[in-house]
Amino acid sequence: MELEQIFAKLTPIFQSVFDDDALVVKPETTAAQVEGWDSLSHLRLVLSVQQAFKVKFSASEISGLKNVGDLAQLVRAKL
């Protein structure tokens, strides 16, 4: 799956988790740039992404993510 396809699937997940239909994520998007992105929403986001893409992330993989681009790359590596 190409990164563009992954981002096309990630955007509605982010919009749902953060309850913001106008939210559009880019590779450089970080938690600090998204209103309401705290530890609880981060957990909900990770679980939603794992479910949508049918992948599993380890705790070390999750803790190493710096931005949404890293998340997309991780998803791509798992597919």
Overall domain count for the chain: 1
The pLDDT of 61-69, averaged and rounded, is 96
8 Å CB contact between 23 and 11: yes
Domain hosting residue 10, numbered range = 3-78
The confidence score (pLDDT) of residue 49 equals: 98
The confidence score (pLDDT) of residue 67 equals: 97
The pLDDT of 61-66, averaged and rounded, is 96
User: The CATH number of the domain where 26 resides is what?
Assistant: 1.10.1200.10
**Average pLDDT of the chain?**
97
Sequential DSSP letters for 3-30: HHHHHHHHHHHHHHHTT-TT----TT--
